[in-house]
């Protein structure tokens, strides 16, 4: 847990002093307590920024800015209970109080998860029209459909934040304004969100040509309609260990033929196999790409991931498959959405 005593302030503490303490601590929160140590409010970095935008002066007492009804947990809460509460309310800090309301600790998401900030950028492809999910997507873009009480895309952003990814690009097109309005700059989830606006549909790889510069480290690319418990940093380690230009996450997909399959030799029947099962490896819509791969993507041109990997193969660049074993679901059609509603839980 954090050294939370350094961000303790009194209700009458000036806004200027509170800002100084928040900045010095890097905790992005101040804890407001009364003379007996009871928690009476909290002030986040976002609260401070919004107060300044409203015209609050630096001499204002912090009690005029604080949230007087913060979400808290009681002493004795387990790590799992704290994490579940943070996920439910999209929190990065939770004050821990005793039965009398006295502040005894501050739980931090980073401490609980052992989180660290990774340098790799993430691009989420969220510009599709979701035609297979109509009429639901007539008014709502597919990544904003709700599963377990929150948009699919929000679950993705939360998972990325928890794993240490902090710079996320959303490639938007269809109903982009709804996505922008919900996520803004990403501060609510502890990440930096920027937008790559596709003037026309660019496919699952083409939007990467809109990145402001080529990143120095491999970039993680994901379709925006996925629900997964995968540890994405492990996929990046796999990519780097293989010195790959492109890595594709794959899943096993079983296809059962619903009939007896007949093998022939001319007119003679050689064998009959009842409802055989065939197994394939399919793309999971998750990729790691290094700069040489990004250089092969044409600008402002429709270009899909299969075409990019075909080009990488033709150029004799290293491409590898990353077997995905964790929970994964592509919410691309109504049956998958219904399945997600039944079984998706935050890890």
CATH number at residue 21: 3.10.580.10
Question: What is the spatial distance between Cα 190 and Cα 93, in angstroms, rounded to a whole number?
Answer: 11
Average pLDDT value for residue range 82-86 = 87
Residues 259 and 161 in one domain: yes
Q: What is the pLDDT of residue 1?
A: 46
Q: Which of 113, 143, 174 finishes a domain?
A: 113
Residues 137 and 19 in one domain: no
Q: Which residue has the higher pLDDT, 337 or 299?
A: 299
Task: Work out whether strand 167-172 and strand 122-125 pair parallel, antiparallel, or are unpaired.
Answer: parallel
Provide the H-helix boundaries in the chain: 15-25, 45-54, 79-89, 109-113, 152-162, 176-183, 203-206, 232-241, 291-294, 305-314, 334-343
Bridge-partner residues for 296, per DSSP?
Answer: none
Please report, for residues 124, 298, 312, the alpha-carbon distance to residue 202 in angstroms, rounded to integers and kept in the order given: 13, 10, 19
DSSP 219: E
Q: Which residue has the higher pLDDT, 2 or 87?
A: 87
The pTM of this model reads: 0.67
Residue 128 predicted with pLDDT over 60: yes
Residues 9 and 135 in one domain: no
Each residue of 239-282: pLDDT tens digit?
A: 888 889 999 998 877 888 888 888 888 887 888 888 888 878 88
CB 227 within 8 A of CB 234: no
Average pLDDT value for residue range 79-84 = 85
Please report, for residues 19, 198, 235, 238, the alpha-carbon distance to residue 242 in angstroms, rounded to integers and kept in the order given: 45, 32, 11, 6
Question: What is the spatial distance between Cα 4 and Cα 318, in angstroms, rounded to a whole number?
Answer: 48
Residues 82 and 10 in one domain: yes
Q: What is the pLDDT of residue 5?
A: 84
Question: What is the spatial distance between Cα 218 and Cα 120, in angstroms, rounded to a whole number?
Answer: 6
Q: Which of 70, 89, 113 finishes a domain?
A: 113
Angle between helices 176-183 and 152-162 (to 10 degrees): 40
pLDDT band, residue 305 (cuts 50/70/90): very high
Question: What is the spatial distance between Cα 250 and Cα 139, in angstroms, rounded to a whole number?
Answer: 32
The parent domain of residue 305 ranges over 122-343
Residues 132 and 10 in one domain: no
Question: What is the spatial distance between Cα 177 and Cα 193, in angstroms, rounded to a whole number?
Answer: 14
Active-site annotation, residues: 275
Residues 259 and 132 in one domain: yes
Residues 183 and 109 in one domain: no
Residues 136 and 74 in one domain: no
Residues 292 and 257 in one domain: yes
Q: What is the pLDDT of residue 116?
A: 65
Residue 265: CB atoms within 10 A of its CB come to 8
If you average pLDDT over every residue of the chain, what do you get? 86
- Residue 241: which CATH number? 3.90.550.10
Residues 163 and 233 in one domain: yes
Number of domains in the chain: 2
Q: Which residue has the higher pLDDT, 332 or 187?
A: 187
Q: Which of 113, 147, 171 finishes a domain?
A: 113
Residue 347 predicted with pLDDT over 60: no
Residues 35 and 158 in one domain: no
Residues 209 and 336 in one domain: yes
């Amino acid at each position: 847990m954090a050294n939370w005593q350094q961000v303790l302030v009194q209700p009458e503490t000036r806004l200027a002093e509170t800002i100084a303490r928040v900045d010095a601590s890097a905790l992005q929160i101040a804890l407001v307590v009364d003379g007996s140590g009871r928690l009476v409010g909290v002030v986040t970095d976002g609260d401070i920024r919004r107060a300044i935008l409203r015209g609050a002066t630096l001499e204002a007492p912090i009690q005029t800015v604080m949230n007087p009804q913060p979400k808290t947990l009681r002493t004795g809460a387990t790590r799992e209970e704290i994490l579940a509460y943070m996920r439910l309310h999209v929190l990065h800090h939770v004050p821990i109080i005793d039965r009398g309301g006295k502040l005894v600790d501050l739980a931090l998401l980073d401490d609980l998860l052992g989180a660290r900030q990774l340098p790799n950028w993430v691009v989420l492809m969220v510009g599709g029209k979701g035609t297979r999910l109509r009429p639901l997507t007539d008014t709502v873009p597919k990544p904003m459909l709700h599963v377990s009480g929150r948009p699919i895309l929000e679950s993705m952003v939360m998972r990325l934040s928890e794993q240490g990814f902090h710079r996320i690009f959303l490639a938007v097109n269809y109903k982009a304004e709804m996505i922008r309005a919900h996520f803004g700059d990403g501060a609510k989830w502890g990440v930096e969100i920027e937008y790559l606006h596709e003037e026309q549909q660019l496919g699952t790889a083409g939007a990467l040509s809109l990145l402001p510069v080529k990143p120095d480290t491999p970039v993680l690319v994901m379709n925006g309609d996925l629900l997964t418990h995968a540890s994405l940093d492990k996929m990046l380690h796999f990519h780097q260990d293989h010195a790959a230009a492109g890595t594709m996450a794959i899943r096993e997909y079983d296809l059962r033929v619903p009939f007896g399959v007949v093998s022939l030799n001319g007119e003679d029947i050689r064998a009959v196999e009842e409802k055989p099962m065939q197994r394939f490896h399919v793309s999971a819509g998750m990729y790691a790409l290094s700069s040489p791969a990004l250089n092969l993507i044409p600008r402002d041109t429709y270009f899909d991931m299969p075409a990019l990997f075909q080009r990488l193969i033709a150029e004799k660049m290293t491409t590898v498959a990353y077997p995905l074993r964790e929970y994964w679901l592509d919410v691309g059609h109504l049956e998958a959405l219904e399945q997600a509603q039944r079984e998706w839980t935050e890890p």
